[in-house]
Amino acid sequence: MIELRHITKVFGAGDTTVRAVNDVSLNVRPGEIVVIMGPSGSGKTTLVSIAGGLMKPTDGTVTVDGQDITTKSERQLPRIRLTTMGFIFQSFNLLSNLSADENAAIPLLLAGQGKTEALQKSREFLTRLNLSHRLHARPRQLSGGEQQRVAIARALVNNPKVVFADEPTANLDRAIGHQVMQLLCSVGCEQGKSVVIVSHDERIKDVAHRVIYIEDGKLVREEPGQHNRVCTMKNHSFK
Amino acid sequence: MPTLLIAIRNLFGERGRFIITVTGVTFSVVLIIVLQALYQGWTAKMGQYIEAQDADLWVAQAGSRDMSHSISLLPSSAKQTITDLSSVASVTPFIGKRVGLEIKGKDRIIYLVRYDPTATVGGPVKLIEGRANLSAGEVIIDRVFANNTGFKLGDTITVGNESFTIIGLASGGDLVAMSFAFISPADADRLFQLPNLTSYFLISVSPGADREQVAQAITTAVPNSIVYTKEEFIEINGQFIREAFLPIILVLVLIGVATGIAVIGLTIFTSTIEKAREYGVLKAIGATGGQLNRVVAIQSLTSGLIGYAIGVIVSFLLGIIVGRFVPEFVVRFRLFDFAWIFALAIVMALSAALIPTRRIASINPADVFKA
Ligand SMILES: Nc1ncnc2c1ncn2[C@@H]1O[C@H](COP(=O)(O)OP(=O)(O)OP(=O)(O)O)[C@@H](O)[C@H]1O
Ligand SMILES: [Mg+2]
């Protein structure tokens, strides 16, 4: 569950201020997949960074899993991100010297789990994402689609409440990108995560429950997605 | 521990850089260990002759210090005075003189000693080759001196306008800058021109006697004398090395430490900059600053410890191999030195790890969303 209340972000000062996000409010329920679309520079990344506790808003509050993260200190935020959030990036951002299963196990290890246990869990996730044959490969030995699936495993392995993905398909071939998003959404949906995906890719709309459009930092439009085509909800109902 | 996993994978994932780091640390550790071992070796060498003599006390002229740099002259008649004191078991005069020689175009110094083959102290420490029963016109030289000059048994050494035939090679008489050589009493008396004088008296005290008390008694009985215990005299003979080399060694050790810190620091810093994005990703995922600093510290420590281990091995090998070809390369390895150099290597590695911590602290995790 994630709630954004009147989020505003202003960069710079004086003549050069940029209002990157302008009074955006948004709720994402557990098991719900929201895609944020909008032109370049409209404030999508800024919004997701604030929602993910990586950036402080100028105004407004972010509540994740019941706690207001905008009031948390820099010392408290890493733990909150580690235990309640998962992140997926455009350029995959795997650790180049670690194997696929080690990469996906990182959040568990950072949280203090034993290596054997962590690797076992990570391998389960990778197997679910059809990577059982690539567990020990290094990122450079993997295709883009495979790397992004490892990144998805890494984002989900800690059983977070919320998953943020910024342009997760931008570096992927369209068909592959779509498959990878279907995987993310079916797993996310099935496990009752709130998933926020920023994308330019129109085809991703069909994995979402809702599509939100922002322009110049403002939420301008919202339309329902066609999630039911790919994601059958098992444990959740929406009111 | 995720920090250990990431650190080790990073280190071995960049093999070239790792080898450079370890080589740099090894160099620095070898420099420090070898210098320290040479220093200890030389200091020990200055005392080894005294150590080998079966004498509890050395009586010298007041004001004289070590054998290499000062002159000690005492009246031979003091022998009787000392012998008459209680608790003195034996008194042996030791008379010697430093002489400069030019051998094959090189200046050498030998410490000529009047050696009475019947005496039990004051002679060669150990005969390696030839014989020890000196007659007039014969000399016993040290093995190290023989190695340095190429002299062999049967060769002739010229001192002033006298010639001596080498009849024996001894060990244990090398003082780095000079070495002991032994000639017959008749030759010594003629050559030294110091009638009724001796340099030192070597004293054995009676079993169970208090050496300090005997020393005190001798000082009082023999005017213008100073009495050293064996240990004090060894200490004083090593002092020159300490005073002359300690400042140089200190400077070189500092250079070694600076080299070590610079090599680890630079490689770890460039690696951190190259991996800034990965550190940013870890931060975004939820790693704490402390965890990231630990990743860097472990990399640095691992390089430091492996470099130290190789450095110890290389130093030992150098000690064995170089020592065989260069007689002055006298090393003495002490556990204590390995211990403090180990601690130094850790300090070096940790200081180097401090360099990139500021860089890590400045990484903004939000930047990872930028493609
Ligand atoms: N750190 C910053 N300092 C100043 N201005 C910034 C900063 N980050 C973003 N901006 C500005 O905020 C606005 C929104 O940027 P943002 O990156 O959120 O856009 P975006 O919708 O993600 O664009 P894109 O689709 O190109 O990724 C832009 O005008 C950008 O220049
Ligand atoms: Mg963006």
Q: What is the pLDDT of residues B24-39, one digit of tens each?
A: 999 999 999 999 999 9
Q: Which residues pair with A223 in a beta bridge?
A: A211
Confidence band, pLDDT 50/70/90 cuts, at residue B371: low
From A8, A16, A18, A215, the mutation candidate for ligand 1 (largest count of ligand atoms within 8 A of CB) is A18
Predicted local distance difference test score (pLDDT) of residue A11: 95
Q: How far apart are CA A105 and CA A82, in angstroms?
A: 12
Q: Is the pLDDT of residue B109 over 90?
A: yes
Q: Is the pLDDT of residue B179 over 90?
A: yes
Q: What is the pLDDT of residues B1-31, one digit of tens each?
A: 789 999 999 999 999 999 999 999 999 999 9
Question: Which among B2, B368, B369 has the least Cβ separation from residue A109?
Answer: B2
A19 within domain boundaries: no
Predicted local distance difference test score (pLDDT) of residue A207: 87
Ligand 1, atom nearest to A12 Cα: 4
DSSP B38-85: HHHHHHHHHHHHHHHS--SEEEEETT---TTT----EETTHHHHHHTS
Predicted local distance difference test score (pLDDT) of residue B370: 80
Residue A106: list chain B partners with CB under 8 A. 2, 6, 282, 285
From A15, A44, A197, the mutation candidate for ligand 1 (largest count of ligand atoms within 8 A of CB) is A44
Predicted local distance difference test score (pLDDT) of residue A137: 97
A103 within domain boundaries: yes
Average of per-residue pLDDT across B238-243:
89
Chain A, window 162-221: residues with a beta carbon less than 8 angstroms from a chain B beta carbon? 166-167, 170-171
Confidence band, pLDDT 50/70/90 cuts, at residue B330: confident
Q: What strands, in cross-sheet order, belong to the sheet with A59-64?
A: A18-28, A2-11, A59-64, A67-68
Judge residue A31's burial from the number of C-beta atoms within 10 Å of its C-beta, 0-12 exposed, 13-18 middle, 19 or more buried.
Answer: buried
Chain A and chain B share a number of CB contacts under 8 A equal to 80
DSSP designation for A112: T
Highest-confidence segment of A166-170, A189-193, B80-84, B238-242: B80-84
- Pocket-forming residues, ligand 1, beta carbon under 6 Å: A 11-12, 18, 20, 38, 40-46
Supply the range of the domain harboring residue A112. Answer: 31-41+70-212+220-229
B347 vs B328, more confident: B347
Question: Which among B9, B288, B370 has the least Cβ separation from residue A98?
Answer: B9
Task: Give the mean pLDDT of chain B.
Answer: 93
Q: Is the pLDDT of residue A1 over 60?
A: yes
Q: Is the pLDDT of residue B357 over 60?
A: yes
Q: Is the pLDDT of residue A64 over 80?
A: yes
Position B54, amino acid: D
Task: Give the mean pLDDT of chain A.
Answer: 91
Average of per-residue pLDDT across B341-354:
95
| A179: three-class secondary structure by DSSP | helix
Alpha carbon nearest to ligand 1 atom 30, residue? A41
Average of per-residue pLDDT across B332-350:
95
| Residue pair A77/A119 in contact by the 8 Å Cβ criterion | no
Best A48, A110, A197 residue to mutate vs chain B (most B CBs within 10 Å): A110
Hey, is the C-beta of A137 within 8 angstroms of any chain B C-beta? Answer: no
| Residue pair A34/A40 in contact by the 8 Å Cβ criterion | no
DSSP designation for B174: B
| Residue pair A90/A168 in contact by the 8 Å Cβ criterion | yes
From A7, A16, A46, A90, the mutation candidate for ligand 1 (largest count of ligand atoms within 8 A of CB) is A46
Q: How far apart are CA B259 and CA B24, in angstroms?
A: 7
Predicted local distance difference test score (pLDDT) of residue B90: 94
A180 within domain boundaries: yes
Q: Is the pLDDT of residue B304 over 60?
A: yes
Q: Is the pLDDT of residue B128 over 60?
A: yes
Q: How far apart are CA A208 and CA A231, in angstroms?
A: 9
Residue of A nearest to B292 (CA): A110
Chain B, window 239-298: residues with a beta carbon less than 8 angstroms from a chain A beta carbon? 277-278, 281-288, 291
Average of per-residue pLDDT across B152-173:
94
Confidence band, pLDDT 50/70/90 cuts, at residue A235: very low
Q: What is the pLDDT of residues B90-106, one digit of tens each?
A: 999 999 999 999 888 88
A92 within domain boundaries: yes
CATH number, position A136:
3.40.50.300
Task: Tally the domains of chain A.
Answer: 1
A26-35, B246-255, B322-331: lowest mean pLDDT where?
Answer: B322-331
Q: Is the pLDDT of residue A229 over 70?
A: no
| Contact criterion met (CB < 8 Å) for A110 and B285 | yes
Confidence band, pLDDT 50/70/90 cuts, at residue A131: very high
Q: How far apart are CA B56 and CA B230, in angstroms?
A: 5
| Contact criterion met (CB < 8 Å) for A52 and B13 | no
Q: How far apart are CA B165 and CA B253, in angstroms?
A: 45
A4 within domain boundaries: no
Predicted local distance difference test score (pLDDT) of residue A186: 83
Predicted local distance difference test score (pLDDT) of residue A228: 64
Average of per-residue pLDDT across B245-260:
92
Predicted local distance difference test score (pLDDT) of residue A201: 83
Hey, is the C-beta of A106 within 8 angstroms of any chain B C-beta? Answer: yes
| Contact criterion met (CB < 8 Å) for A54 and B366 | yes
**At a CB cut-off of 8 Å and minimum separation 6, what does A66 contact?**
A1
- Rounded to a whole number of angstroms, the distance from the CA of A175 to the nearest CA of chain B is 21
Alpha carbon nearest to ligand 1 atom 4, residue? A11
Q: What is the pLDDT of residues B39-78, one digit of tens each?
A: 999 999 899 999 999 999 999 999 999 998 899 999 999 9
Predicted local distance difference test score (pLDDT) of residue B323: 82
Ligand 1, atom nearest to A198 Cα: 22
Average of per-residue pLDDT across A71-95:
94
Residue B277: list chain A partners with CB under 8 A. 93
